[in-house]
Amino acid sequence: MSYIIDRRENAKKKSTVNRQRFLRRYKQHIKRAVEDAIHDRSITDVDQGGQVTIPKRDISEPVFHHGEGGLKRKIFPGNKEFMEGDEFRRPESGGGGGSGQGKASNQGEGEDEFTFTISQDEFLDFMFEDLELPWMVRKQLKDATTFETRRAGFTSSGSPEKLHIVRSLRAAHARRIALTDKETRHQIRALRKELWALEDMPPSPERNDKLNQLREQILALEKSSRKLPFLDDFDLRYTNLVRVPMPSSKAVMFCVMDVSGSMTQSIKDMAKRFFILLYLFLNRNYKQIEVVFVRHHTHAKEVDEQEFFYSRETGGTIVSSALALTADIIDARYPPQDWNIYIAQASDGDNWDGDSSTCSKLLTERILPKTQYYAYVEITTGPHQNLWHEYEQVQEAFNERFAMQQITDAGEIYPVFRRLFEKRTEGAHESS
């Protein structure tokens, strides 16, 4: 006798929990692999999944087993030329007559490393773990989109899809019990028991008579007890859901990039990488976030994502143009009482003489009072440029909200990015 069952539609991913536990346990290894991967990748595939390699000895599960040495006797198949009593040198690496522990590898790398693949999602999780937009606060209860639906008990009216079957039947049961008379119920039950006992007995004329008699009695009793509907409108219960407005933590991120002539191709490339990281991070971790792209040379311009990352337009450098545009956009579209405002700026720090002071003035007067956090990265291999020195003063004034870092080569992008958006615990002021 066989049963054949189609289980293909059953729960897949049974191993997900175990897999996650494995990943959690080897988090450090995976993080290192992710960091390495970010350095090596080109801009466009920085967000793909990746291979992670862990040394085999780190993940082995130890058990007692025999080591080298002692007397061992082992049987092999496929004898071709050996005769009894033949002796020969012990093969190196313990292949032929070895202990059998650990497979000998003739491919060089072979067994020493444990490699596996993590998905894009997991890759990004590890990449952006413990990062956040600092000083984010809940703004006004204004945006109507952020409602949360919560359960709130049961009601006696509602739409059919919210019908709660268990509750309804329980109510019906209670009503039926309440409205029937106890004596009759007990009587019926006793008669039924008698009836079942009789049904199990072998058939005979007396039994059949008795059966019919009992059935009639039961019927009569049932008739006499009041006819109650099994389910009444009155019994129906519906799950009650209410919508609770939630304070929103809306945020806008300004990405400001210098594309002037002084930015060489490699510097631009690094700036783009930085912004792509930022863009991935925002998209992944924050649902309600708007990103505004501003690029500038002598003029600043608000552009879309495509143009921001791939346009080749270039020119001289006036940084203040971008800051002024940013401030205008904030005034026009993002009132600070509704929005968390973040700005990330990347430049080689080379600015038109005399413009830098305008910049710091714009920052301190129009921008920083309204923003949560301003991150500036200077991408240069040489000494700091005039903008950096100007910004140092700004930083002193706005220690918490203003952060600046320097990047000299592509390998530093990710560490700097992490430093800028490290998770801070409330109250702990570690400014860089």
Partner 1 sequence: MSPRKKREPISTGSDWTFPLIEAYDREIGRVAADFGLDTYPNQIEVITSEQMMDAYSSVGMPLNYNHWSFGKQFVETEQNYSRGRMGLAYEIVINSNPCIAYLMEENTITMQALVIAHACYGHNSFFKGNYLFRTWTDASAIIDYLLFAKNYIRECEEKHGVEEVEKLLDSCHALMNYGVNRYKRPRPLTAAEERERQRSREEYIQRHLNDLWNTTVPRKEDNDDQRAQRFPKDPEENILYFIEKNAPLLESWQREVIRIVRKVAQYFYPQKQTQVMNEGWACFWHYTLLHQLYDEGLVTDGFMMEFLHSHSSVIYQPPFDSPYFSGINPYTLGYNMMQDIRRICEHPTDEDREWFPDIAGSNWLETLDHAMRNFKDESFILQYLSPRMMRELKLFSITDDSSRPTLKVDAIHNERGYRQLRESLSAQYNLGNREPNIQVYNVNVRGDRSLTLRHFMHNDQPLAADSCEEVLKHLHRLWGFDVHLESVRPDGEVTKRYDCPPKQAVEVA
Nearest distance from C-beta of residue 87 to partner 1, angstroms: 4
Residue 38 Cβ, how far from partner 1 at the closest point, in Å? 22
CA 246, distance to chain mean position in Å, is: 21
Q: Does 19 interact with partner 1 (rule: CB under 8 A)?
A: yes
Residue 90 or 226: the one with the smaller Cβ distance to partner 1 is 90
**Best CA proximity match to 358, nearest among 318, 396, 397, 320:** 320
Closest separation between CB of residue 37 and partner 1, Å? Answer: 17
With CB under 8 A as the contact rule, the residue among 13, 223, 227, 312 that binds partner 1 is 13
| Residue 4 Cβ vs partner 1, minimum distance, rounded to whole Å | 5
Q: Largest Cα–Cα distance of the chain, in whole Å?
A: 119
Decide: is 150 part of the binding site for partner 1 (CB under 8 A): no
Dist CA 175 CA 226 (whole Å): 13
Counting residues that bind partner 1 (by CB under 8 A) gives: 64
Q: How far is the CB of 43 from partner 1 (least distance, A)?
A: 27
Sole window of 21-29, 187-195, 266-274, 303-311 interacting with partner 1 (rule: CB under 8 A):
21-29
Residue 337 near residue 280 (C-beta atoms within 8 A): no
Q: Which stretch binds partner 1 (CB under 8 A): 38-46, 93-101, 251-259, 346-354?
A: 93-101
Please state the closest distance from residue 85 (CB atom) to partner 1, in A: 7
230 binds partner 1, rule: CB under 8 A: no
**CA distance linking residue 31 with residue 376, whole number of Å:** 25
Q: Which is nearer to partner 1, 7 or 312 (CB)?
A: 7
382 binds partner 1 (CB under 8 A): no
- When the beta carbons of 68 and 353 are compared against partner 1, the nearer one is 68
CA dist., res. 257 & res. 322, Å (int): 9
Burial of 237 per CB tally in 10 Å (0-12, 13-18, 19+): buried
In the chain, the amino acid numbered 52 is: V
Show contacts with partner 1 in window 163-182 (CB under 8 A). Answer: none
380/408 Cα distance (integer angstroms): 5
User: Angle of helix 265-285 relative to helix 413-420, nearest 10 degrees?
Assistant: 40
Spatial separation of the C-alpha atoms in residues 410 and 202, rounded to whole Å: 92
Q: Does 144 bind partner 1 (CB under 8 A)?
A: no
Close Cβ partners of 164 (under 8 Å, ≥ 6 residues apart)? 154, 237, 238, 239
Site string for partner 1, 45-84 (x = CB under 8 A): --------------xxxxxxxxxxxxxxxxxxxxxx-xxx
Nearer to partner 1, 70 or 382 (CB): 70
Q: How far is the CB of 112 from partner 1 (least distance, A)?
A: 14
Shortest spacing between CB 98 and partner 1, in angstroms: 8
Closest to partner 1 by CB, 78 vs 205, is: 78
Length of the chain: 432
**Alpha-carbon radius of gyration of the chain:** 38
Q: Cα separation of 125 and 216, whole Å?
A: 72
Tracing tokens 């000998």 back to the chain, one arrives at 104
Q: Which is nearer to partner 1, 85 or 203 (CB)?
A: 85
Closer Cβ to partner 1, 25 or 333, answer by number: 25
Four-point Cα dihedral 7, 12, 17, 18, nearest 10 = 70
CA dihedral 283, 285, 291, 296 (to 10 degrees): -90
Can you tell me which residue has the tokens 């959690």? Answer: 24
23 residue type, one letter: L
Task: Record the tokens describing residue 223, joined without a space.
Answer: 């008739």
Q: H or E stretch including 276?
A: helix 265-285
Q: Kindly state whether residue 24 participates in binding partner 1, applying the rule CB under 8 A.
A: yes
Interaction residues for partner 1, span 100-129 (CB under 8 A): 100-101, 103, 106, 114-117
Which of 10, 44, 204, 265 touches partner 1 (CB under 8 A)? Answer: 10
Specify the 3-state DSSP secondary structure of 399.
coil
Residue the block writes with tokens 């590890």: 126
Contacting residue, 28, 40, 45, 96, with partner 1 by CB under 8 A: 96
Q: Which is nearer to partner 1, 27 or 192 (CB)?
A: 27
Q: Is 310 in the site for partner 1 (CB under 8 A)?
A: no
Closer by beta carbon to partner 1, 73 or else 223: 73
CB of 93 to partner 1, least distance (A): 13
Interaction site with partner 1 (CB under 8 A): 1-8, 10, 12-15, 17-25, 59-80, 82-90, 96-98, 100-101, 103, 106, 114-117
